[in-house]
Structure 1
Amino acid sequence: MIDPARRQLIEIYLAAYNHFDIPGMLGALTDDVRFEHHQGGELSVATDGKADLEKLARVGAQLFAAREQKIVELEERGSDIVATIDFHGEIAEDIPEGPRAGTIIEMQGTTEFGFAPHGKICKVIDRA
């Protein structure tokens, strides 16, 4: 059974993400949080610490007019929780050599959440 406090922290983080609430996202994280995004099995971006993740989150938020991550399933793996997530997003502006404004992106991936002893999220590893 998933620890209710950890589930709630994941839900707070994702709700803040969905609402472009970067301070809300950061509030669920430790100061030394590790973030990784893997695309197609390759590490595409990584940050260490809240300050670097905040910069990345601000850039990422500008890419989307709307976005939503929805939990499909949560699974404990050792001390971590892995969420299977459905993602739906609408591109805000034309991206050079990429999707055009209004393009809808839908995919499923996983996010692995690690937790510090005091309870906040200390690791977020996205795989798409």
Structure 2
Amino acid sequence: MTSKENRELIEHYIEAYNAFDVAGMVQLLHPDIVFRNFANGELNTETRGVEEFKMLAEQSSQIFSSRRQSIASYSAVVNQIEVQIDYEGILVVDLPNGLKAGDKLQLEGKSVFEMTDGKLSLIEDYS
């Protein structure tokens, strides 16, 4: 895939994410997708395969009334693409960390994407 095609794949994934379109997200994934989420330098979530990813995505979509990832910049690193992300979401549930329903969550971070056979095969989110 060309760099342009990779960027379009990532943009379609983020559009589906922002729209709470789990089916749209899943159709962009390689069957062996690995997803990892890191917060404050520590791995707190990992899934392997489309079904585990889909279950996590469905659970996560129930936490927010709205959410938006915005791409700030792209950079290529070896066989991966790093995307600087601005994130904003409004909670609909209270979280164990003290955030309450109605609170706005704002984060800056990055996502690392790797592609295999024209699909996303690795997604790592860092905040």
TM-score w.r.t. length of structure 2? 0.96
Shift of 1:97: 5.2
Unaligned ranges ≥5, structure 1: none
The amino acid of 2:85's aligned partner reads I
1: CA distance, partners of 2:111 / 2:19: 18
Report which stretch shifted further, 88-97 or 18-27.
Answer: 88-97
The amino acid of 1:83's aligned partner reads V
2: CA distance, partners of 1:127 / 1:97: 18
Partner of 1:80: 80
Partner secondary structure for residue 5 of structure 1: helix
The amino acid of 1:55's aligned partner reads M
Partner of 1:93: 93
Mapping of 1:11-22 within 5 angstroms? 11-22=11-22
2: CA distance, partners of 1:81 / 1:38: 17
1:5 matches 2:8: no
Shift of 1:96: 4.6
Mapping of 1:1-128 within 5 angstroms? 3-96=3-96, 98-116=98-116, 118-128=117-127
Change (3 A) 1:124 1:91: same
Kindly report structure 1 stretches of 4+ aligned residues shifted beyond 4 Å.
none
TM-score w.r.t. length of structure 1? 0.95
2: CA distance, partners of 1:72 / 1:53: 25
Shift of 1:84: 0.2
Report which stretch shifted further, 85-94 or 95-104.
Answer: 95-104
Change (3 A) 1:4 1:102: same
Report which stretch shifted further, 64-73 or 92-101.
Answer: 92-101
State the percentage of identical aligned residues. 33
Shift of 1:98: 2.5
2: CA distance, partners of 1:79 / 1:97: 35
